[in-house]
Amino acid sequence: MNTDDPKNDSSQSQPNVSDSAQDTGNDPSLVDLVDALQSVDPSSPEAPANATSIADNNGGRIELNEDPPIKK
């Protein structure tokens, strides 16, 4: 077996987080995710459109083909 083969390199498929960080729950990617989720403004003008589509970064929208949003 060739250990230099990129297909056998498990470090590429796993984030580079130390075992101690995972054990303590201090995974920086999780912290980044929580920060991003807390920055969402559900009352912004774009919020209703974001329920069924995403911005394409070219001024347009990409429609998501999923079930319609549940109205509260």
Confidence of residue 4 (pLDDT cuts 50, 70, 90): low
Residue (of 31, 34, 38) closest to 15 by Cα position: 31
The per-residue pLDDT for range 10-58, each reduced to its tens digit, is 545 555 655 555 566 668 899 899 999 999 899 999 899 888 899 999 9
Q: What is the per-residue pLDDT for 5?
A: 53
Higher pLDDT, 38 or 8: 38
pTM: 0.39
Per-residue three-class SS string for 8-70: HCHHHCCCCCCHHHHHHCCCHHHHHHHHHHHCCCCCCCCHHHHCCEEECCCCCEEECCCCCCC
Helices (H), strands (E): how many in the chain?
A: 3, 2
Any idea where the domains of the chain sit in the sequence?
Answer: 22-63
